[in-house]
Chains A and B, each alone.
Chain A
Amino acid sequence: MTATPTAAAPFTTVIGLEVHVQLQTRTKLFCGCATTFGAAPNTQVCPTCLGLPGSLPVMNRTAFELAVRAALALGCQIAPFTKWDRKNYFYPDLPKGYQISQFDLPFSSQGALEVVDPKGALTRNVRITRVHLEEDAGKSMHDETAGTGDTRIDLNRAGTPLCEIVSEPDLRSPQEARAWLNELKLLLVYLGVSDCNMQEGSLRVDANVNLHIPCDGGRIAKTPIVEIKNMNSFRSVERALVYESARQYEEWQATKAEMGKTPKQTRGWDDPAGVTRAQRHKEESSDYRYFPEPDLVPVTVSEEWLAATREAMGDPPSVLREALAATWKIPPYDADVLVNQGRELVAYFEDLAARVGEGKVASNWMQQDVLRTLNERGGSIDDFPVRPAAVADIIGRVAKGDFDTSRAREIFAEVLASGRTVDEVVASMGIAAVDDDELITLCRELLAANPRVVADVQGGKEQAAAGLIGQAKKKNPNVNPGKVRAMCLELIRQM
């Protein structure tokens, strides 16, 4: 797939993303402090994450394993030997005066994650430059109204394990960037690597963007690369990139400034204002004086270790979509919708589909009933009160002809609302299976009362029988419309 400039956008937007995700561990990367979100300030701190004199880091094994799991799922090469480095800079949310990160020997590199073009079925392979493991900084809070002018520092977050995922500049539109982030998030959540909760800061995105502008003579002008920060949702990422592309194009038209002549600029996204703003550039801040962290020892990853990690990992969403479509004979669209809702929902679906025996029927129920009501109610599928057995029960009764689908929906809604069993709801709604004698009597009454319909059918207009169904349901709400229709036609034929 090649993105070509269109009349609407006379340039190609070139985007690379840098994503930080907080790993789902119980404790921090280098100490035993908890990582619970929302704790009172400075209650999850110890000498190590406070950077007190003499304190030392010891690596959290789970953090490393989760990071490896993420890298494997992104198709990365895992380095047989990796080490950590100190990135030195002064900031009050960084109590040691350095961040323990990885510089020249990250534990993984050279992966890829495909993104489905949101406008069509085409996919784009977005290369991953590297994935590395590092510690987070604390939180600075500045309240100008407080009057003190001081910044308050909470170090609860300091030392939380982060996986940094850096993509190549392979994305070609803001929409594609957003779609790719959705896929990345889904993958990481599926694998239990991170909850990727952006509100809680467990997923943060910076974007590098510039434009490729075709000029006369086939030359491509490249605008200076801008790094955008402070985007707190995927929607913000898309909006910021849309804004920034337009801004760069405007600037290019005015200045014709091209890449390489100025240092990389950093701009912050101001969400309420819907604009990016230049951030102050400190020349000396980029001299991080990386050197090997002498308080940690390197990690070597054996083939056995990798094999075990792969084994325990489970399928990534892309594999699961295909597997779901093949196993349950559902369209790729259905598989996509189900998989995108997360692993728990897929488990629910598979349970339901196995009970129903018909993948497509189960999928329809998932999408039209379970998912819709789940979205209205909020919460997780695991807490959804109508379990697969009950839904399968309802579907089964429809198949048997006990009642029709619309009646079934009412039953589903009532089971959900009341928390009672399907049997109880069916009984309470007075739904009883209508036996054949009852049905024959009912249909005879209807035909006797509607000679016109009988005449029309006999005249070849079978569709006229549809008019009888509404009357039948009035007389007995439990009748199956299909059966009423079939019985009426049969009786007319016998006349």
Chain B
Amino acid sequence: MSLSRNDVAKVGLLARLALSETDLDTMTRELSTIVGFVSQLEQIDTTDVAPLAHPLDTQNVFRADIPQPSLTTAQALQSAPRHDGECFLVPAVLGDSGAN
């Protein structure tokens, strides 16, 4: 199983990781090796086997709808690389992503 440089560049953008030309070479080689290794799972017969995403069997864990104290704005912003005392500041974006 081998990945192309372009595959790796696409994944880099999806993962928001800037990759230099050198990084890209190294990453393409290493990921191809690792993907080749994990592809051994193909050989295991998993017909009629349900996926297991989580080791727990528990269900229905809820909390009550009771307000708890929030952080102060200062605490919320204490580690922000940039803020104006009220809001986090980031390079310009066009609008809300909203929930979609």
Q: Contact at A134–B63, with CB atoms within 8 Å?
A: no
Q: Contact at A150–B95, with CB atoms within 8 Å?
A: no
Q: Contact at B92–A151, with CB atoms within 8 Å?
A: yes
Q: Contact at B99–A20, with CB atoms within 8 Å?
A: yes
Q: Contact at B73–A43, with CB atoms within 8 Å?
A: yes
Q: Contact at A50–B53, with CB atoms within 8 Å?
A: no
**Closest CB in chain A relative to B5 CB, distance in Å:** 16
Q: Contact at A297–B99, with CB atoms within 8 Å?
A: no
Q: A92-B93, A292-B54, A297-B59 are in contact. Are A99 and B99 (CB under 8 A)?
A: yes
A37 contacts the other chain (CB 8 A): no
| Across-interface contacts of B10 in A (CB, < 8 A) | 284
Q: A46-B70, A90-B16 are in contact. Are A134 and B93 (CB under 8 A)?
A: no
B34 contacts the other chain (CB 8 A): no
Q: A25-B65, A63-B65, A91-B97 are in contact. Are A297 and B60 (CB under 8 A)?
A: yes
- Nearest B residue to A150 by beta-carbon distance? B89
Interface residues as binary, B72-100 with A (CB distance below 8 Å gives 1, 0 otherwise): 11001100001010111111111111111
A222 contacts the other chain (CB 8 A): no
By the criterion of a CB under 8 Å from any partner CB, how many residues of chain A are at the interface?
Answer: 65
| Across-interface contacts of A140 in B (CB, < 8 A) | 93, 95-97
Q: How far apart sit A294 and B97, CA to CA, in the bound complex (Å)?
A: 24
- Enumerate A261-319 residues with CB–CB distance to B below 8 Å: 284, 287, 289, 291-292, 294, 296-300
B22 contacts the other chain (CB 8 A): no
Q: How far apart sit A353 and B17, CA to CA, in the bound complex (Å)?
A: 68
Q: A137-B97, A142-B94 are in contact. Are A59 and B62 (CB under 8 A)?
A: yes
- Find B86's partner among A41, A149, A206 (CB 8 Å cutoff): A41
Q: Contact at A162–B99, with CB atoms within 8 Å?
A: yes
Q: How far apart sit A94 and B16, CA to CA, in the bound complex (Å)?
A: 15
Q: Contact at A26–B73, with CB atoms within 8 Å?
A: no
**Closest CB in chain A relative to B28 CB, distance in Å:** 18
- Enumerate B18-54 residues with CB–CB distance to A below 8 Å: 53-54
**Closest CB in chain A relative to B80 CB, distance in Å:** 9
Q: A42-B73, A151-B92, A299-B60 are in contact. Are A292 and B97 (CB under 8 A)?
A: no
A47 contacts the other chain (CB 8 A): yes
Q: How far apart sit A292 and B50, CA to CA, in the bound complex (Å)?
A: 14
Q: Contact at A59–B87, with CB atoms within 8 Å?
A: no
Q: A59-B61, A297-B59 are in contact. Are A155 and B71 (CB under 8 A)?
A: no
Q: Contact at A61–B14, with CB atoms within 8 Å?
A: no
Q: A41-B86, A89-B97, A294-B53 are in contact. Are A150 and B92 (CB under 8 A)?
A: yes
Q: Contact at A155–B88, with CB atoms within 8 Å?
A: yes
Q: Contact at B99–A134, with CB atoms within 8 Å?
A: yes
Q: Contact at A142–B93, with CB atoms within 8 Å?
A: yes
Q: Contact at B88–A92, with CB atoms within 8 Å?
A: yes
- Nearest A residue to B98 by beta-carbon distance? A137
Q: How far apart sit A92 and B67, CA to CA, in the bound complex (Å)?
A: 25
Q: A58-B61, A64-B62, A153-B90 are in contact. Are A27 and B99 (CB under 8 A)?
A: no
Q: How far apart sit A64 and B61, CA to CA, in the bound complex (Å)?
A: 11
Q: A26-B66, A58-B61 are in contact. Are A294 and B54 (CB under 8 A)?
A: yes
- Nearest B residue to A268 by beta-carbon distance? B95
- Find B70's partner among A25, A43, A206 (CB 8 Å cutoff): A43
Most buried by A among B14, B53, B71, B94: B71
Q: Contact at A135–B99, with CB atoms within 8 Å?
A: yes
Q: Contact at A33–B67, with CB atoms within 8 Å?
A: yes
**Closest CB in chain A relative to B83 CB, distance in Å:** 9
| Across-interface contacts of B87 in A (CB, < 8 A) | 41-42, 141, 152-154
Q: Contact at A47–B89, with CB atoms within 8 Å?
A: no
A169 contacts the other chain (CB 8 A): no
Q: A137-B97, A152-B86 are in contact. Are A40 and B73 (CB under 8 A)?
A: yes
| Across-interface contacts of B60 in A (CB, < 8 A) | 297-300
A360 contacts the other chain (CB 8 A): no
**Closest CB in chain A relative to B78 CB, distance in Å:** 11
Q: Contact at A27–B89, with CB atoms within 8 Å?
A: no
| Across-interface contacts of A297 in B (CB, < 8 A) | 54, 56, 58-61
Q: How far apart sit A206 and B98, CA to CA, in the bound complex (Å)?
A: 11
Interface residues as binary, A196-207 with B (CB distance below 8 Å gives 1, 0 otherwise): 000000001010
- Nearest A residue to B86 by beta-carbon distance? A41
Q: Contact at A291–B53, with CB atoms within 8 Å?
A: yes
| Across-interface contacts of A110 in B (CB, < 8 A) | none
Q: Contact at B13–A284, with CB atoms within 8 Å?
A: yes
A402 contacts the other chain (CB 8 A): no
Q: Contact at A46–B86, with CB atoms within 8 Å?
A: no
Q: Contact at A42–B64, with CB atoms within 8 Å?
A: no
Apart from the given pairs A32-B68, A93-B97, A155-B76, 11 other A-B contacts in the complex at a CB distance below 8 Å: A32-B67, A33-B70, A34-B70, A40-B73, A61-B63, A89-B97, A91-B97, A92-B90, A284-B10, A292-B54, A300-B59
The 10 closest A-B CB pairs, nearest first, are A32-B68, A152-B87, A61-B62, A62-B65, A91-B97, A153-B88, A292-B53, A150-B89, A92-B90, A58-B63
Residues of B within 8 A of A (CB): 10, 13-14, 16, 53-54, 56, 58-73, 76-77, 82, 84, 86-100
14 A–B contacts from the bound complex (CB under 8 Å): A26-B65, A32-B68, A34-B67, A40-B86, A41-B87, A42-B73, A58-B61, A93-B96, A150-B92, A151-B89, A154-B86, A297-B58, A297-B59, A298-B59
